[in-house]
Structure 1
Amino acid sequence: MAQKIRSFFSEDTAEDPLVSYARLRELLQMTRGCALFLGLLERKCMRYFLVGNVRAWLNRGDGFKFLPARPGVMGRLELPPKLWEESLLPGSRLIVCTDGVERRFHPRFFPWTVGLSPERVARKIGEHFSRREDDVCVLVVEGPGDV
């Protein structure tokens, strides 16, 4: 399934997350499915889908906000899609992680989630909070300093 998803994203050129979501849902219908974060980040706005056992937080400079998700499994056992939207400010930071990251992780408790580069934050989360019996994926993205 990972290869299917990798191929999908290397070929998908849609700029509308609803279109990408529908195509991906169709591709995954006859599989075991997956958890999903699918987002389009623009300068002042982020539109995204968050399905399944994936956690995400957004910091616009005033602390991390937990982003809501739909329960289920993308392509198999999900509720109707919900496209969420969040405004972005200069330097906004997004952290997304799979269920392989321990529940005790919350960026609010670790000041380095703001102070370090996105790459170092992702690496540190993976190194210090991964559940050894599960795979881990961490995404950390930061917007430009001025819009």
Structure 2
Amino acid sequence: MISAGFHAVFPMEDGSRVGEARRHAAQLAQECGLDETDAGRLAIVVTELGTNLARHAVRGRMLLSPRPGSREVEVIAIDEGPGIADVERSMGDGFSTGGTPGTGLGAVRRLARDFDIHTSVPGGTIVLARVGSRADSHRVRAACTGAVSVAAPGERVCGDGWGFALHGDIGAIVVADGLGHGPDAAEAAAAALEAFAEDPMASPRILLERAHRRLRSTRGAAVMMLHADAATGTVRSAGAGNVMARLVSGVSDRAILCQHGTAGVTIRSPEEQSIAWPEHALLVVCTDGIETRWPATLLGPLLGRDPALAAAVLVRDHCRGRDDATVAVLRRKD
């Protein structure tokens, strides 16, 4: 199962926050078992992206999260302007994103194992970089999945949880939103992920029933379980509460809703639904920290890109800002 926890958020109002983010990245590198060389690469990536945000961006933020299953750290730089008019030029050697000693985005792309960028003028830019151990020959490839999860303002833990499991043509997803926020909500969400991890390829209905039993000792959570089958072109789901999903492509937009209730408290007998999965559609699952009425056209330019970019765009543009917020995205493998 792939689950990287929630992202620590560092607003880049000034250059002092760059050092704060770099120190947190060093801690994550140690937790993920990165050696000195790999940790150094991560430090350069954080410095380059953070300095650019502090010097040039509107509402620049850096998100950092460990990815323990593959010994890597995910870095996402988000801003709301001014955007990059010439992305190819910004990738060239000798072009610095912020007057730093490195070579800007070109250096970040070379140092990262995964790199992607989405920008619009004047809307802003999102840069994704994953830095991990180059000695790790058993890396879990997760290019078709991505998620962004952030805690409610003022909280040190996130009451949302998410996880992916991949087996052949099937991608299984769980997204859980513990009631309220803070440590008790995080405990409830973690219990839902544990129920999922026991056998993620069980049917969504069975997974929801298992989560309901597991959460009885917690305050409860909204939970959605989904199986996306590329071979049959279908998505099966079962859920309770206010987690929702959408299948979004350039020509379609279908919502997937949960039944009423709260896992661990009270739910009706779980009902499983199945809908068609269009070939190029992203499966997007959101907790209620994300506004529900975001336009499907927002993700049009990102249909074939790293799914974490789509998740980051929704968190940037449609986060309510008063609760935990999570977006998990799945697309078919290339």
Give the alignment's TM-score, normalised by structure 1: 0.82
Larger radius of gyration: 2
**1:35, 1:54 within 8 Å by CA — same for their partners in 2?**
yes
Higher relative CO (Cα under 8 Å, sequence separation at least 6) belongs to 1
1:69 paired to 2:258: yes
| Deviation larger for 9-18 or 85-94 | 9-18
Identity %: 26
The residue type equivalent to 1:84 in the other structure is Q
Over 3 Å counting, the alpha-carbon distance change for 1:114 and 1:51 in structure 2 is: farther
1:112 aligns with 2:301: no
Q: Does 2:206 align with 1:19?
A: yes
Which has the larger displacement, 86-95 or 129-138?
A: 86-95
Which whole-Å deviations, capped at 9, do the CAs of 1:88-140 have from their partners, x for residues lacking one? 2322211111111134x4233xx231221321110111122212220001011
- Counterpart position of 1:138: 327
The one-letter code of the counterpart of 1:15 is A
- The letter for the 2-side match of 1:79 is R
The alignment's TM-score, normalised by the length of structure 2, stands at 0.39
| CA offsets 1:56-97 (integer angstroms, 9 cap, x no match) | 211355321122321121121222211110122322211111
Unmatched segments (≥5 aa) in structure 1 = none
C-alpha distance in 2, partners of 1:87/1:54?
A: 19
Equivalent pair of 1:29/1:76 in contact (CA under 8 Å): yes
Unaligned runs of 5+ in 2: 1-186
1:5 match: 192
| Counterpart contact for 1:90–1:144, Cα < 8 Å | no
Task: Specify the alignment match of 1:34 in structure 2.
Answer: 221
CA–CA separation in structure 1 for the residues paired with 2:331 and 2:200: 22
Residue 87 (structure 1) aligns with: 276
- C-alpha distance 137-80 of structure 1, shift in aligned 2 (>3 A): same
Determine the structure 1 residue equivalent to 2:290. Answer: 101
Distance 2:202 2:250 in 1: 27
Aligned letter for 1:53?
Answer: N
Q: Deviations over 1:33-68 (max 9, x none)?
A: 111110111112111013211122113553211223
| Residues 114, 64 of structure 1: alpha-carbon distance in 2 compared, 3 angstrom cutoff | same
Q: Which amino acid letter does the alignment assign opposite residue 41 of structure 1?
A: A
TM superposition shift of 1:14: 4.2
